[in-house]
Amino acid sequence: MERIALILAGGRGERFWPLSTRKRPKQLLPLFSSRTLIEETFNRLQSFLPTNNIYVVTPIDLLPAIKKTLSSLPDTNFIGEPEGKNTAPAIAFATLLLRERYPHATMGVFPADHYIRDESAFLNALEVAFNMATDDRLITFGIPPTYPATGFGYIELGHKIAPDVYEVARFKEKPNQKEAQEYLKSGKYLWNSGMFVWKIDTIIDAFHKHAPEFWPAMCEFLHHKDAHTLYSSLPSISIDYAIMEKARNVAVVKAHFTWNDIGAWRSLENIKPKTDTNVVVGDWVGIDSSDNIIYAEDGIIATIGVDNLIIVKSGNRVLVAHKDKDQEIKELVALLAKKKRYNQYL
C-alpha cells in the first residue's frame, strides 16, 4: 500500500508576533535552527518517504512563499485552499484531491510548525503508525509528558494493542494546573501531538459518519462555480473535534522523541540553550536581567533590571510582555487589526 504525507501549513502563528506576520507566518520562521519550521518538517519526512509523496496544503495567499521555501517540491504537490479555516476543512479538502491520485494510500498528516528531536525515534514511530493504520484505525501520536503542561491537550490511554500502541480511552482538553499534575502522576496520559496516520478510505468513512453535515458541502465545493464563497461557509473546526473525539477506532502510538508544538514564545525555553538564565537570539547586552526571552531579529536589545519578560524586536515592531501573558499576544494582534491604522505592522 502506497504511503503519502500531508503537511498542514495554514496557521498564522499570531502568538509569535511581531516576528510572525501575515506575509511571513510562524511556519516560515527559523525559530530553533537556520531552517524554517516547515523546512524542518519537510526534511524529517524526506527521510521516510520519497519527495514526490509529500504534499503541502496551505491557504492560497501563502502559496508563493511556501513554494519558494520548499523549492525542491514539485509544483503539483502544493494544495491551495481558498482560505485558512481549521484542520478539519484543510484535511478533508486535501484528502478529496489526493484520493484521485492515491485511492488506496495510507496518509500521514503533520503540522508544519512542530519541533521534534531524535529523528530515528520519530521514524520508528512513523513505521509503527503506518503499519497499524492498515487495520482501518485512525492513528495519532502521544508524547509522554515531562512536566504538568497546561497548554497541551491530553490523551487517556486505554487497552494496550501492541508494543507502544494503545486504544484511546478519551481525549482531554487543556487541563488546569491541578489536573495536569494528576495526569502526570498517574502515568495514564500522553500529550496530544496533533499528528495522525490513516488510510484515505478510513478517514473519508470517518467524515461521513461523524461529520455528515460537513462532508457533502466539501464534496460540492470541488465542483462549485463559486467555490470560495462555499468554502467560507464551511465550519471552522479542528480534526480533533470533528472526528477524533467521536470515533471509536482510534489508537495512539506512544512516541519516544522530544516534541514541542511551538505554540508561543515560551516554547523556546524548552528548546534553546540559555545565556545567563535568558533565552537569547540575536544581539543582547544586559545587566541584572534574568529568565527573559529575548529575540532581536535586527539591531540590538539592551536590558537593565528586568525579569521574566518576552522582548522581541523585528524591524519597526517591538513587543514587551510578561512571560505569563504569552497566550494573550494573539489578543494583542486582534486589537492591532481592529485599529486599522496599525495593519501595516501585521
Identify whether 265 is part of a domain. no
Q: What is the pLDDT of residue 248?
A: 94
Both 65 and 198 in one domain: the answer is yes
Both 291 and 252 in one domain: the answer is no
| 154's grid cell | 491530553
Both 305 and 180 in one domain: the answer is no
Q: Which of residues 260, 288, 310 is at a domain's end?
A: 260
Q: How many whole angstroms from its chain centre is CA 287?
A: 36
Both 78 and 165 in one domain: the answer is yes
d(CA 113, CA 66): 13
Residue 276 contacts residue 290 (beta carbons within 8 Å): yes
Q: What is the pLDDT of residue 32?
A: 85
d(CA 206, CA 210): 6
d(CA 28, CA 41): 11
- From the DSSP assignment, how many helices (H) and strands (E) are in the chain? 10, 16
> CA triplet 257, 152, 4: central angle to 5 degrees?
55
Both 245 and 178 in one domain: the answer is yes
| Cβ within 8 Å of residue 159, ≥6 positions away | 166, 167
Question: pLDDT tens digits for the chain (346 residues)?
Answer: 899 999 999 888 899 999 999 889 999 999 888 899 999 999 999 999 999 999 999 999 999 999 999 999 999 999 998 888 899 999 998 998 899 899 999 999 999 999 999 999 999 999 999 999 998 999 999 999 988 888 889 999 999 999 999 999 999 988 888 998 998 999 899 999 999 999 999 999 999 999 887 777 777 766 665 666 677 778 889 999 999 999 999 999 999 999 988 889 999 998 899 988 999 999 999 999 999 999 999 999 999 999 999 999 999 999 999 999 998 999 999 999 898 888 888 8
Query: Tell me, what DSSP letter sits at residue 116?
Result: E
- pTM (2 d.p.): 0.93
Element (H, E) at 168: strand 165-172
Identify whether 300 is part of a domain. yes
Q: Which of residues 236, 260, 284 is at a domain's end?
A: 260
| Residue from 161, 112, 171, 172 nearest 132 by CA | 161
Both 181 and 101 in one domain: the answer is yes
Q: Which of residues 201, 226, 260 is at a domain's end?
A: 260
**Cα dihedral 262, 265, 269, 271 sign:** positive
Cβ-based burial of 285 (10 A; exposed 0-12, middle 13-18, buried ≥19): exposed
Neighbours of 183 (CB within 10 A): 22
Amino acid, single-letter form, for residue 166: Y
Identify whether 277 is part of a domain. yes
| Residue from 342, 344, 297 nearest 19 by CA | 297
Identify whether 297 is part of a domain. yes
Q: Which residues pair with 192 in a beta bridge?
A: 142
Q: How many whole angstroms from its chain centre is CA 66?
A: 15
Both 63 and 158 in one domain: the answer is yes
Residue 58 contacts residue 70 (beta carbons within 8 Å): no
Both 245 and 316 in one domain: the answer is no
Q: How many whole angstroms from its chain centre is CA 23?
A: 18
Both 281 and 179 in one domain: the answer is no
Identify whether 155 is part of a domain. yes
Identify whether 285 is part of a domain. yes
Both 168 and 68 in one domain: the answer is yes
Number of domain units in the chain: 2
Kindly list the distances between the CA atom of residue 190 and the CA atoms of 72, 143, 152, 218, 252, in Å, as whole numbers in the listed order.
35, 5, 10, 32, 9
| 337's grid cell | 487589526
Q: What is the pLDDT of residue 6?
A: 98
Range of the domain at 336: 271-345
Identify whether 19 is part of a domain. yes
Identify the CATH number of the domain in which residue 189 sits: 3.90.550.10
Neighbours of 222 (CB within 10 A): 13
d(CA 278, CA 286): 10
| Cβ within 8 Å of residue 223, ≥6 positions away | none
Both 171 and 308 in one domain: the answer is no
Does the bond joining 18 to the residue before it have cis omega, within 30 degrees of 0?
yes
Q: Which residues pair with 106 in a beta bridge?
A: 3, 199
Identify whether 266 is part of a domain. no
Both 74 and 43 in one domain: the answer is yes
